């Protein structure tokens, strides 16, 4: 039974990578790709979830995967593996999921893992700075060279 699930997971991951390789040659349908990543996150398969989170991090600017935000937050909360928790935390940051950022801020004082606590502080500071940059009037925004 486990071998069958593992085989199916590898097949799904293979299809995702095949889709990505074809995306380079032709226009990508980001809406469909995002929906498939949300489905991958919602499965119970940890390997598939981790691969989907990596793809979300890589292509976050083009995707609308807000529907997976609470599922990724659940992965962050329940996983025993600190590396998976870090992956979930970075995914939530790249998604700019507001509720998850609020949760990370509240969770900070209860976090026992020093590495995750430090990384969470950095993520929250960057998120706050990003929000301030977005809210600043156009006259206060720094000019970008070449634009």
Element (H, E) at 122: helix 114-135
Q: Within 10 A of 98 (CB to CB), how many other CB atoms are there?
A: 13
| pLDDT confidence bin for 147, thresholds 50/70/90 | very low
Number of alpha helices (DSSP H) and beta strands (DSSP E) in the chain: 7, 0
Angle 111-95-18 from CA coordinates, rounded to 5°: 115
The model carries a pTM of: 0.71
Provide the 3-class DSSP secondary structure of residue 97: coil
What's the pLDDT tens digit per position in 11-43?
567 666 666 665 554 567 888 888 999 999 998
Residue 64's φ and ψ, nearest 5 degrees, are: -120, 95
Q: Rounded mean pLDDT of the chain?
A: 83
Provide the 3-class DSSP secondary structure of residue 87: helix
Contacts of 128 (CB under 8 A, 6+ apart): none
What's the pLDDT tens digit per position in 71-103?
999 999 999 999 999 999 999 999 988 888 899
d(CA 113, CA 115): 6
């Amino acid at each position: 039974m486990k071998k069958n699930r593992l085989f199916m997971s590898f097949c799904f991951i293979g299809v995702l990578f095949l889709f990505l390789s074809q995306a380079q040659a032709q226009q990508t349908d980001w809406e469909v790709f995002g929906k498939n990543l949300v489905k991958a996150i919602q499965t119970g398969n940890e390997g598939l979830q981790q691969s989907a989170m990596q793809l979300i991090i890589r292509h976050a600017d083009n995707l609308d995967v807000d529907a997976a935000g609470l599922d990724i937050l659940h992965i962050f909360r329940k996983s025993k593996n600190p590396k998976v928790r870090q992956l979930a935390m970075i995914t939530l940051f790249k998604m700019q999921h507001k509720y998850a950022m609020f949760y990370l801020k509240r969770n900070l004082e209860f976090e026992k893992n020093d590495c995750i606590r430090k990384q969470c502080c950095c993520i929250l500071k960057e998120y706050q700075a990003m929000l301030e940059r977005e809210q600043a009037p156009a006259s206060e925004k720094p000019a970008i060279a070449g634009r």
